[in-house]
Homo-oligomer: A and B are copies of this chain.
Amino acid sequence: MTAPNAFIKPQLMTAGPTPLPPRVQAVMAEPVLYHRAPAFDALFARVLERLPAVFGTENDVLVFASSGTGAMESAIANLARPGRPLLACAAGKFGERWIELGEAYGADVVRYEPGWGARLDPAEVATLLEANPEVDAVFATLSETSTGVVHDVQALGEVARDHGALLVVDAVSGLGATELRQDEWGIDVVVAGSQKALMAPPGLGFASVSRRALELAAQRPGGRYYFDWNRTANAQGAADPAAPFTPAVTLIRALDVSLEMIEEEGLDHVLARHALLARAARAGVHGMGLELFGDPDDRANVVTAVALPEGIDGTKVPKLLRERYNITANGGQGQLKGQILRIAHCGYFGGFDVLTTLAALELVLRELGADVELGSGVASAQQVFLDAGVALAAPGPA
């Protein structure tokens, strides 16, 4: 007889799609709603009312049936013009998507690329804006999922404002996981997706667009329809808010439940939970004698990138996690393939999820011949939780 399989439970430990709370899963099995009937009207109005708090904004948050990339494209389609300059900041795969989008639309893309894993430096952005005074929009990333780094978009917002430019932030993986105060920080546009810390399935894109950005978009008509901000803003802003095209009603229903869960836990608690999970993950990485990848700071609460030890085949780490331990986790993308493992703690994640991923990583690294002591990472993370105090009665996304 071969060894019994102890690891029978599949576990989704990725930074998006993230695991769904059971309440969110369950509601999707209910009968579908017609999108122009009172039951959906009430649901949609409630979702539209709940969304702005997560963004820290008083804008109406525009909802698209699309992935997060669709929401990013909405920003380019509404603001970029052929031949006009824009500034794209890229320190990883998702930052580079701004460059690709800008170029696809024929914009004159000024690039700021400090390298994958770096943190965007507001002073460098200021220098580029001084050198390119015609740039009127800066595109950046809150949480760069490919590297784990969270950028200081508050500082970027100040720099952009000082130069009279709009700041557009891709918060697809960061929203609801790390602090973002759109209005207070003066960020004109924040785009996001449903499948990360918002704890809903993929298929909804969001754009929180300031009045100023809506006006600029209106001055640059044409070349878009589905992702036209003002069309969606007009439909959603009507007395009886509606989507301009058939919305993804099942996903909106799921989002309603997940936003309710965020309200119940309280956004501050949600963010504090993410920060604690991230601290435990970082401690666990150090505890097993490994290093973090790149330049994360204490904002990096979305995904923790572990630099895999030299001398092992890093591409085997996610493969063995899946094949031996039934854990689906993210390795490195693009130029980081085989170099990192990403520990996700973004959305419906708790302490034991982090301990599980660390335990599994220890097991896999041992199998690959790395010098890792079993339990070392787990113990360091446990200590973080103990030191933080375990609050049994604290609110959580139950």
Contact = CB atoms under 8 A, between A and B. Distances in A.
Interface of A: 10, 12, 14, 16-20, 25-26, 28-35, 37-38, 64-70, 73, 76, 82, 100-101, 104-106, 193, 195, 201-203, 222-228, 245-251, 254, 322, 328
Centre residue among A67, A104, A251, A328 by max chain B CB count within 10 A = A67
B202 A16 contact: no
A391 B254 CA distance: 39
Given A31-B10, A203-B203, A246 B16 contact: yes
The 5 A-B residue pairs with the shortest CB-CB distance in the complex, in nearest-first order: A203-B248, A29-B29, A201-B250, A28-B28, A69-B245
Nearest to A333: B36
Identical copies in the complex = 2
Contacts of A193: 246
A256 to B, nearest CB: 15
Given A12-B34, A17-B32, A226-B66, A202 B246 contact: yes
A29 B28 contact: yes
8 contacts: A18-B32, A28-B28, A37-B328, A69-B246, A202-B249, A203-B248, A223-B223, A250-B251
A254 B29 CA distance: 10
Contact of A34 (B14, B32, B38, B254): B14
B32 A248 contact: no
Given A201-B32, A226-B73, A322-B37, A67 B247 contact: yes
Nearest to A225: B104
Nearest to A224: B104
Contacts of A28: 25, 28-29, 250
A19 to B, nearest CB: 7
Given A17-B34, A65-B67, 13 more contacts: A19-B32, A25-B29, A64-B66, A65-B202, A66-B66, A67-B245, A67-B246, A69-B226, A70-B226, A105-B225, A201-B250, A201-B251, A202-B250
A376 to B, nearest CB: 27
Contacts of A73: 225-226
Contacts of A246: 16-17, 67-69, 193, 195, 202
A248 B67 contact: yes
Contacts of A100: 225
A322 to B, nearest CB: 7
